[in-house]
């Protein structure tokens, strides 16, 4: 595995922080907290850069609220200046990890997303079912198109082990200051484990953490048709027995 050093100085450049600010405020330019930060933009970014450079930066406490869309979820929102730091971090290290992710890890990646996942699912469905013409039992002419196992990781964001996540990141990132910054972000969550829903970093870290699952499913279980979107995933196969062997979940015939 290729490793990377001397990344922290790239993260805290003024240019990267300015680029991160632009990303963090996108779609939120009329929010009071954005207007307040923007009123003294250069001073605020300079102060943030100084704190990062001096290693005195400390995230502010998360703000919690309940979102219903339609499932009820508790969202923990970071302060705006902390979101700038999240973007600055991801700007530099996300491309270093992205190359190691499987093609069908679809969430929170450039060129991926919901539409990509749907298209991949349709493609896999056609392959598994041979365009709906696969015959399961020739003698009784029973046409079975295929099977889909849908599953998710129960309470994933509440159960992430901080030390395991940091150890996975540390395999690739050999810059102590970057690891310490990531540790501050992760451990700002007011529990001993888990990550806050709503943070950009939580979405990115989910891909690192669950990349282990992706490799297990693809290389150990040898599942050919597998798609993951954050903590939800599907496996498709023409064999019901194969999906039953590979694990529990909700089975669908298509």
> At 227, which helix (H) or strand (E)?
strand 225-229
CB 170 within 8 Å of CB 182 = no
Q: How confident is the model at residue 228 (pLDDT cuts 50, 70, 90)?
A: very high
For tokens 């600055």, the residue is 88
Q: Which pLDDT does position 105 carry in this prediction?
A: 96
Per the prediction, the chain carries an average pLDDT of 89
Tokens of 3: 């490793």
For tokens 């954005």, the residue is 34
Q: Which pLDDT does position 140 carry in this prediction?
A: 47
**Which segment, 193-202, 203-212, 232-241, is predicted with the most confidence on average?**
203-212
User: Using alpha carbons only, how large is the chain's radius of gyration in Å?
Assistant: 22
Alpha-carbon gap, residue 122 to 116, rounded angstroms: 10
Q: Which pLDDT does position 245 carry in this prediction?
A: 59
pLDDT tens for each residue of 174-204: 999 999 999 999 999 888 899 988 899 999 9
pLDDT tens for each residue of 64-117: 777 776 667 777 889 999 999 999 999 999 999 999 999 999 999 999 999 999
Q: How confident is the model at residue 251 (pLDDT cuts 50, 70, 90)?
A: low
Q: Tell how strand 63-68 and strand 250-253 pair up.
A: unpaired
The model's pTM is 0.87
Residues 6+ apart with CB under 8 A from 23: 87, 91
Alpha-carbon gap, residue 57 to 18, rounded angstroms: 17
């Amino acid at each position: 595995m290729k490793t990377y050093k001397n990344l922290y100085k790239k993260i805290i450049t003024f240019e990267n922080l300015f680029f991160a600010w632009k990303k963090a405020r996108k779609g939120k330019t009329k929010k009071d907290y954005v207007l307040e930060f923007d009123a003294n933009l250069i001073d605020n970014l300079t102060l943030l850069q100084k704190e990062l450079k001096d290693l005195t930066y400390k995230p502010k406490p998360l703000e919690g609220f309940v979102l219903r869309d339609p499932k009820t979820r508790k969202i923990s929102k970071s302060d705006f200046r902390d979101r700038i730091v999240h973007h600055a971090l991801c700007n530099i290290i996300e491309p270093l990890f992205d190359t190691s992710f499987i093609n069908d890890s679809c969430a929170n990646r450039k060129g991926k997303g919901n539409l990509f996942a749907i298209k991949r699912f349709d493609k896999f469905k056609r392959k598994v079912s041979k365009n709906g013409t696969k015959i399961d039992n020739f003698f009784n002419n029973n046409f079975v198109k295929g099977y889909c196992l849908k599953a998710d990781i129960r309470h994933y964001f509440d159960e992430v082990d901080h030390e395991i996540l940091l150890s996975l990141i540390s395999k690739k990132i050999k810059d102590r200051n970057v690891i310490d910054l990531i540790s501050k972000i992760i451990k700002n969550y007011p529990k001993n484990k888990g990550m806050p829903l709503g943070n950009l970093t939580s979405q990115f870290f989910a891909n690192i953490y669950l990349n282990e699952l992706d490799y297990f499913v693809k290389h150990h279980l040898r599942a050919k048709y597998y798609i993951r979107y954050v903590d939800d995933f599907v496996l498709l196969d023409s064999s019901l027995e194969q999906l039953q062997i590979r694990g529990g979940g909700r089975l669908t015939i298509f």
